[in-house]
Structures are given as structure tokens and as C-alpha cells.
Structure 1
């Protein structure tokens, strides 16, 4: 993160003029613009600024390669040939380009994320969280979103089709726009394309921030539930949420996760041997597979049993107690089968 106070964050009322280049645009400068928007003036019109519509917030934004306009701007990114964050300069195209500690070259988005990302996260998150959580969100997005953009923009590794980079590129007008409609219309369509791309990127950024926030919250809940469990093989979650990531990251010996699947059903989900893989650490009983309601209730002995998937990775009951009983029975049956083969 930043080792100095970035321009605009030392005073939340001063006017800030941000600038990037005109012409072809990519994921790094559209994401960079979205970062500045949420860090400095999240109440403003992100799309309207790009299209030159008058605004009332403190951030203005232009796309140009004019040396005079570049010199006048407070924050210049992805253009200008200078990297000096203390002066608001965030280009990365020079020979002596800024690098991460592991040698990965920064993109303009990466440089702006380093200085303005935490402020952007703070303004995006709408529920109360502490600074430790905000920093964890910043770090998670740096790894999952920003570094891939850095790598793609610098030719280290492509993000691939249907990636954020591909979506941004698809917003650019076709190569023959000027030929078909004239230079002035082509310029308008380029600005509209950038506005569309920035809007999409900003929505993606907001969604990712909120999903990471929720993921961190889920991690705490999972750990609490595991610590409270009598049988560490059965994880009882009182609310449905992602659990597998935490189970594997912390190497928890959980076999089944019991959680609500609606107002009148609780499910038992088997954990796979490898994260994201098919299969189960302990499959549900073979005799249950594919049965529903009365037939399943009779063979399992759980009166409110609802279903058991034929692949034996998930089953459900009408109550919390019924689902817990199914999880315990499944473990007992597995243990007896293993004892019979010894």
C-alpha cells in the first residue's frame, strides 16, 4: 500500500483533475479510473465525467495526450512517461518501469490500487467493518483482480476470453468507425465506449469488494462453528454460506456441512477430498442414493428425510435435527462398513 499520502486523500474537499490518454483503451486505465472514482468522489457520476457532462463533485476526468493538459492535471495515469506518485504521476511504459517485489510489472491500475485502493474499498463497503478487514479485502483483490490486470497489460500473461480485459476491449468501437462515420463521430463513439467499459469495470469492482467482504465474514463464522462442534467431522452452520474454502485453507477434518437450504429444509453436503473436485471424503450411504421422502425416511430412520442425491454428495431433511441425524448416521454406517472389511 501507499507509503505517502496520495493526492486528494490529504484533503477530502480539494478539486482533483485526473487524466489518462485518449485513443485505444484497456482494462488497466478503465479500472484505474474506477479506483479513483471510488477513492475520491464516489458520489459523483462516473459515466457522466467521461462523456463531459457537468458534475458537482470534486473530481474531473479527461482523456487526452496533450502535453499541456498532462502538465496541468493533478493525477496522470497510463500516459506521460513519468512514475512519481508523490506528484500524482502513474505511468508504467518507461524502460525503468515500476515493479512489484516479485518482479511483476505494474500497470496503471496496479499503481493506483497501491495508493488509492484502500480508500476505494473503504467507500465501497456499506456495512461496518474494521481496518483489518478493509486491508484484507484490499489484499485479496490485489491478488485476484489487480495482478491479473497488471500481467495482461504488460504482456506477462493474458487474462483470456470473457475476462475483464476482453469485456473492456469489446467496448471499443470497431477499427473502421472513422472510415464509416467520420472522425468526429468516431471520437464520440470512443468516449462512449470508454464510459461503457468504466461502468462495467466499476460494477465488477464493487461486486468483488462485497463478495470478498462476505467471504471474510463467512470465514470467521466457519471457524467459530468448527470450534463449537462436538464432532469436528460435522460442521453445523446456522446460515447458508461458503465453507469449502476455509475448510481446505485451514485443513479442517470436516466431512459433512449441515446448513439451511430454505425455510423448510436443511441439507447435508459432503466435502470432497480435494477442493473443487468431485467425490467425497465420506460418501453418503449407498442405500440412500436417489431416494426421496417416504422411501428415504424408511431406510434411513429419519422421519423428515427429504432426498438423497444419486451421486451421494448431498441429502436433506425437513429440520435441523433431521439433517444432523442424517450426518451422524452416515458416519456411523461408514464406520461399520470399514470395520467389516478389516
Structure 2
């Protein structure tokens, strides 16, 4: 809670940030704060006047002070080195600072769970990785790639770029009111995208993770070595599989080689070889070379397995009309 006196509105909370040209970090920081019950009806003060900022309940991206106990969240001052932690080393912007201190509360509020719930922690870390860190890096001028690597094209459609384009152009009429109006648009833009991303991770990404985790937990019941996973419903699985393997320290000799799942269009089943790495086109163990590029009855005769549909020419995936047939293909590939 703030140790500062009530703001200029006499009892109404106030959020302070700088005026003039704005960026994605403070636009998002302000939006996130206004989703909290304490600041839901807060007034925004955009100024660089220390006298006006001093009486604000919370200040972001201006003031040269980082002190959570006093609700001051600037990152421009000399000697500032705060990072998110948990393995991340990108210096925080005002968005990252607000997210670090208030993010769990925001997520808990959104998904209806206590802030101490493990799901909240998981989403908090995921949203930093996938959404907030890029804003921190962009605002602090941290290159995404090593300085000696030149990008092959320019990227001007990211969130930070779209916020920057909301500022009045140099030859357009501008005034404090114009900047404030455009800042409000920027704040809604960043906040809307943040919560859309949070909703996706809470409502689609997490359930997919649960599907993969259940398959991993039951893998030895499917096949004693645990090298075959069966997903009882179609779900995006690659990212989750690699992350869960790392989290549970599964030895290389016990990692899954094949994943079975129902085709997303229904009916048939797929057997897919797990990649050597999350982004690799190479498989840990591709389906057998003699099966590759063969289809239907010819493949069934070759394998001795009824209902075969195909095996891709690279051996990374195959199909069968039934779950039982797909399992026979996976077990046959294991033994090949």
C-alpha cells in the first residue's frame, strides 16, 4: 500500500507517469494498475513536475526512484539493475516492474484463484517470457540478437512499434490534450493484448499442458519403457513435452520417441516422432525407413498392421484408422 498522501483529487487515487512522447512500457503499466481494485477509479497524472508527482499514490516510468515500499517504479536512474529473476536477465522497464510486483494479483483476479496457487505462478512466469520481456528489452534498448548479427528485415509491427506510432508525428498538431488522448489509446491497446494473451494461456495453453502431463504420468502403463505417449484428445503438445521433460529431469534414455493422438478432424489417429529439439526437423527416432512414403493397403501389407493410412516421406509422422493400429505402428517402430 502507498505511504504517500492522497492525490490531488482529494481521496481519489492517482497514478503518475511522464507527459509528452509515450512508450509501450508505461502505457501497459498504467493499464495493469487500473485493473487492480485499489486503482480501478484512479486518475492519471501525466507530468514531469516533481511537485505533482510527489503527491501521486503511485508513479511509473518517471521520477528516478525504484522503491516498491513507496510505490515508485522508475527504471531510468543511474545504477538501476533490477531484473525479473527466475533465470531472466533482461533489465526491467516500468511494465516489467509493475508486472513483477502486481502480476500475480492481476492473474489471480482474472482466473479466480488465490495468488498463491501454482497455476498463477505458472502463468505469471509464462506471461513474462512471452509478453512482458520483449517490452522490457525494447524500452531499455537491449538487442534481441548479438550486435554482430544483422537482421535480414525490419520488424515494425510489434506492440512497442504500434504504440510508438500512436504518438503525434513531428509535423502534426500536438498539445498536452492530444498526447493524453493518444496515450489513453496506447494504454488500452497494450492492456487488451496482455489480457487476451493471458486468457489464451489460461484457457487453451494450460489445458493442453494438462493433457500432455496426464499422458506423461501414465506413459509406462502404455509401454514399459515410457517411450510412447498417448494423448486422449488432440492438443498442441510439443512445447509442453519438452518443458515437462526438463522440469521432471527425465533421463535421455527414457524420453518419449512417439506421440499418439486423434486426428483433429476426427476418426483417424496419428503417430508422430518427437523432434530432436523443440524446433528441429530431425526426429529422435523417425518411423522406419521402409515405411516412408508408402500408403494405405500397401503400407498395411508391408507392416502387417491393419488400417494404415500413410507414413510421411521423412518418417516424422504416420496415420492409422484406429488407435490400436497407431499403437501397433509406434511399437513396431520402437522395435525396428
The answer to whether the superposition gives a TM-score over 0.5 is: yes
Query: Are 1:169 and 2:164 counterparts?
Result: yes
Q: Provide the alpha-carbon RMSD of the alignment.
A: 3.3
1:192, CA displacement in angstroms? Answer: 3.1
1:310, CA displacement in angstroms? Answer: 1.8
Q: Determine the C-alpha separation between the residues in 2 that align with 1:149 and 1:207.
A: 19
* Contact 2:24 2:186 survives alignment (8 Å): no
Q: Determine the C-alpha separation between the residues in 2 that align with 1:233 and 1:122.
A: 36
1:270, CA displacement in angstroms? Answer: 0.3
The aligned residue for residue 230 of structure 2 is 236
Query: Are 1:21 and 2:18 counterparts?
Result: yes
1:130, CA displacement in angstroms? Answer: 6.9
* Contact 2:283 2:316 survives alignment (8 Å): yes
* Contact 2:212 2:231 survives alignment (8 Å): no
1:311, CA displacement in angstroms? Answer: 1.7
2:70 to 77, 83, 87: 87
* Contact 1:31 1:202 survives alignment (8 Å): no
| Ranges in structure 2 where 5+ consecutive residues have no aligned partner | 4-10, 146-153
Q: Determine the C-alpha separation between the residues in 2 that align with 1:215 and 1:34.
A: 29
| Ranges in structure 1 where 5+ consecutive residues have no aligned partner | 8-13, 42-56, 335-342
- Count residues in correspondence: 306
Q: Determine the C-alpha separation between the residues in 2 that align with 1:198 and 1:216.
A: 25
Write out the 4+ residue segments of structure 1 that deviate beyond 6 Å after TM superposition: 127-130
1:280, CA displacement in angstroms? Answer: 1.6
Change (3 A) 1:111 1:26: same
Q: Provide the TM-score with structure 1 as the length reference.
A: 0.75
Q: Provide the TM-score with structure 2 as the length reference.
A: 0.76
The aligned residue for residue 49 of structure 1 is none
Query: Are 1:131 and 2:137 counterparts?
Result: no
Tell me the SS of whatever aligns to 1:272. Answer: coil
The aligned residue for residue 70 of structure 1 is 53
Change (3 A) 1:164 1:283: same
Change (3 A) 1:106 1:60: same
Tell me the SS of whatever aligns to 1:156. Answer: coil
